[in-house]
């Protein structure tokens, strides 16, 4: 290239960068705006992001040519780590203790059982046994991004145990699916893999991941508690760094990074941290951005013309997974816990698949395994079918099975205590329900501990002064200051703490 050509190329680089950023900005903005429309028609938000990516792809109206599986795997893995960390931050320790056993069984035996059942049907549809088991392993786990987003925007307030079992399962079952997929991908690529070796390696990865997550979480708590950063905006930067370390360090030690980053989030989320409320909101926003980027990239990878070829197989497997395999496996796994049949049926129905199976489907493609491209197309079809069939009915099924009710509207205003270090006190926000002990009572009549007080009452669009004569009514949003030893009693009075 001549000197003039080189100069011209350098001068065009800013324009190329601007075009790429413009395309990315438009896609992200459209995906965010489309979430409103998808919510109105009951379509899972994550599926809406995926559709935007498909429409922007090489066979869509956008015409963006993209087929980089390796980049998608790396970006998707980082995005999923941030989503799992955000899920851990919002997991209360008390609910975790209550729901961890059934969720752990679903995340291990449930994943293996689902993989086996799907493999049998895939074999009947003509797949070789090894490819059939690989396909079953890829679609065996529920997706944290899909479950978190659907439960948070569905407008339904599930019974605490039901919601926590679903969230914990989706946060904990990725390691099992990853282990199965990697082992079967290696076998499909011609490597020697023994069942005993895979089981031992899997147990070690889970142990290293759990211990690594606890260690990074405890270390991150000490760092955040002692840090005196120059600006409040640097605290979420630090926690993002902690999340990435929580995923990467155990992974390098042959542990499960997905399990580790979720556990680290749980440890930090249940700690007294500086700017705790702001950090939770920041990571919620980061989690949504990660979802948008991840699903857009996955959508760009899709070629609708190839999906038509596997539509029959994909539809059959997707319906079998949603209607038979998932409910049957969940019922068997939850039998020892004697959960009410309505709750078991709902957990079995809401087994949403999303980005994780599509990301796992890139493993055999990158490894050059036989039939990998067809597997990827089938997996995508299964995910879409599974997202539509159960995903579209999540709120309706909750009402039908009576496992949840309408969630109260978010408070238009909340009081938050911003601190640069943990202090001996906190502000809690509650919504007053009809069954709340405080409903209909004057603030002066409440048996508050010495160190507790109501700070603000929000009723509709009005801010009410927290005076002794103020009567608390159902639907009020109340901000209460209390000392840590009094938190349990205050929660007993007011009930459910509002989400950040």
Give me the helices (H) in 57-143, please: 69-89, 93-105, 111-124, 129-138
* Mean pLDDT calculated for residue range 470-494: 86
Answer with the one of 351, 371, 406 that is the final residue of a domain.
406
pLDDT tens per residue, range 217-245: 999 999 988 878 888 788 889 999 999 99
pLDDT value, residue 402: 86
- pLDDT at 10 exceeding the cut of 60: no
| Residue 304 and residue 238 share a domain | yes
- Confirm if 149 and 45 have CB atoms less than 8 A apart: yes
**184, 268: one domain:** yes
- Residues 162 and 274 both lie in one domain: yes
DSSP character string of 340-382: -HHHHHHHHH-----HHHHHHHHHHHHHT-TTHHHHHHHHHHH
Cα Rg of the chain, angstroms: 24
Residues 120 and 156 occupy one common structural domain: yes
pLDDT of res. 106: 93
Band of the pLDDT at 12, cuts 50, 70, 90? low
Q: Residues 398, 431: one domain?
A: no
State how far the Cα of 384 lies from the Cα of 481, in Å rounded to an integer: 46
Same domain assignment for residues 451 and 337: no
Instruction: Check pLDDT > 50 for residue 179.
Output: yes
Quote the CA–CA distance of 37 and 471 in Å, as a whole number. 38
Mean pLDDT across the stretch 63-92?
A: 86
Who wins on pLDDT, 253 or 278? Answer: 253
The answer to whether residue 99 is domain-embedded is yes
Which of 155-164, 379-388, 448-457 bottoms out in mean pLDDT, i.e. has the lowest? 155-164
Domain boundary residue among 354, 376, 406? 406
Predicted confidence (pLDDT) per residue in 398-422, tens digit:
888 888 766 666 666 666 666 666 6
Count of domains observed in the chain = 2
Q: Give DSSP secondary structure letters for 408-476.
A: PPPPS-------SS--S-EEEEEE--TT-TTTT-BGGGS---TT-EEEEEEETTEEE---TTPBP-TT-
Q: Are 140 and 118 in contact (CB under 8 A)?
A: yes
Q: What is the CATH number of the domain that holds 139?
A: 1.20.1530.20
Task: Please tell me the distance from the alpha carbon of residue 358 to that of residue 392, in angstroms, as a whole number.
Answer: 20
- Cα–Cα distance between 178 and 159 in angstroms, integer? 30
| 342-351 pLDDT tens trace | 999 999 998 8
DSSP structure string for 198-242: HHHHHHHHHHHHHHHHHHHHHHHHHHHHH---SSTTHHHHHHHHH
Instruction: Evaluate if residue 204 carries a pLDDT over 50.
Output: yes
Residues 282 and 150 in one domain: yes
On the question of pLDDT at 7 being above 50, the answer is no
Least confident of 22-26, 38-42, 218-222, 409-413: 38-42
Residue 283 has, within 13 A of its CA and on its CB side, a CA count of 31
Same domain, 377 and 304: yes
Within-domain flag for 421: no
59 within some domain:
no
Same domain, residue pair 247 and 173: yes
SS3 of the chain: helix, strand, coil, percent, to 5: 65, 5, 25
What whole-number distance in Å separates Cα of residue 16 and Cα of residue 296? 20
The answer on 130 and 241 residing in a single domain is yes
Which helix (H) or strand (E) element contains residue 180? helix 174-188
Residue 475 inside a domain? The answer is yes
Do 379 and 478 fall into the same domain? no
Range of the domain at 313: 69-406
Name the more confident of 2 and 164.
164
Cα–Cα distance measured from residue 136 to residue 121, given in angstroms and rounded to the nearest whole number:
9
**Residues with Cβ within 8 Å of residue 94, at least 6 apart in sequence:** none
Domain presence at residue 416: no
Render pLDDT for 269-321 as a digit per residue (tens, 0 to 9): 888 887 777 788 888 888 888 888 888 888 888 888 888 888 889 999 999 99
Which of 406, 434, 457 is the C-terminal boundary of a domain?
406
Residue 230, domain member (yes or no): yes
- Kindly report the CATH number assigned to the domain that includes residue 433: 3.30.70.1450
Domain assignment present for residue 419? The answer is: no
Structure tokens at 380: 């995508």
Domain contains 285: yes
Q: Of the segments 116-120, 167-171, 454-458, which one has the largest average pLDDT value? A: 116-120
354 shares its domain with 468: no
Lowest mean pLDDT among 59-68, 370-379, 472-481: 59-68
């Amino acid at each position: 290239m001549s000197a003039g050509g080189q100069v011209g190329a350098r001068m065009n680089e800013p324009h190329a960068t601007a075009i790429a950023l413009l395309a990315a900005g438009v896609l992200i903005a459209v995906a965010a705006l489309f979430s409103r429309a998808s919510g109105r028609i009951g379509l899972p938000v994550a599926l809406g992001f995926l559709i935007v990516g498909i429409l922007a792809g090489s066979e869509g109206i956008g015409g963006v040519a993209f087929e980089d599986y390796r980049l998608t795997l790396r970006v998707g893995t980082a995005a999923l780590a941030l989503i799992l960390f955000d899920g851990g931050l919002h997991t209360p320790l008390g609910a975790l203790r209550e729901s961890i056993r059934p969720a752990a069984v679903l995340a291990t035996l449930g994943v293996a059982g689902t993989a086996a059942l799907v493999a049998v049907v895939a074999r009947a549809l003509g797949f070789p046994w090894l490819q059939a088991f690989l396909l079953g392993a890829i679609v065996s786990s529920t997706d944290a991004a899909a479950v978190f987003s659907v439960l948070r925007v569905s407008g339904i307030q599930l019974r605490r145990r039901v919601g926590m079992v679903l969230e914990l399962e989706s946060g904990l079952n990725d390691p099992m699916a990853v282990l199965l997929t990697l082992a079967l991908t290696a076998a499909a690529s011609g490597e020697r893999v023994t069942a005993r070796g895979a089981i031992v390696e899997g147990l070690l990865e889970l142990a290293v991941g759990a211990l690594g997550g606890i260690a990074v979480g405890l270390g991150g708590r000490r760092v955040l508690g002692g840090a005196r950063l120059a600006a409040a905006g640097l605290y979420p930067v630090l926690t993002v760094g902690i999340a990435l370390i929580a995923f990467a360090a155990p992974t390098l030690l042959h542990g499960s990074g997905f399990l580790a980053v979720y556990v680290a989030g749980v440890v930090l989320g249940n700690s007294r941290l500086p700017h705790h409320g702001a950090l939770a909101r920041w990571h919620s926003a980061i989690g949504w951005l990660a979802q948008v980027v991840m699903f857009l990239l996955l959508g760009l990878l899709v070629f609708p013309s190839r999906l038509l070829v596997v539509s029959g197989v994909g539809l059959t497997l997707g319906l079998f997974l949603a209607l038979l395999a998932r409910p049957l496996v969940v019922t068997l796994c939850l039998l020892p816990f004697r959960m009410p049949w309505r709750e078991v049926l709902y957990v079995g129905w809401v087994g949403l698949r999303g980005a994780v199976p599509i990301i796992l489907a890139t493993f055999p493609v990158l490894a050059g395994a036989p039939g990998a491209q067809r597997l990827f197309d089938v997996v995508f079809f299964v995910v879409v079918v599974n997202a539509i069939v159960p995903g579209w009915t999540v709120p309706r099924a909750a009402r039908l099975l009576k496992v949840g009710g309408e969630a109260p509207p978010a408070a238009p205003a909340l009081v938050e205590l911003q601190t640069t270090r943990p202090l001996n006190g906190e502000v809690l926000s509650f919504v007053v329900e009809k069954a709340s002990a405080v409903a209909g009572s004057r603030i002066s009549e409440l048996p508050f501990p010495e160190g507790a007080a109501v700070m603000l009452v929000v009723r509709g669009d009005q801010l009410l002064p927290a005076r002794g004569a103020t009567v608390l009514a159902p639907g009020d949003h109340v901000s209460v200051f209390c000392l840590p030893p009094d938190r349990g009693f205050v929660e007993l009075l007011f009930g459910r703490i509002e989400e950040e």
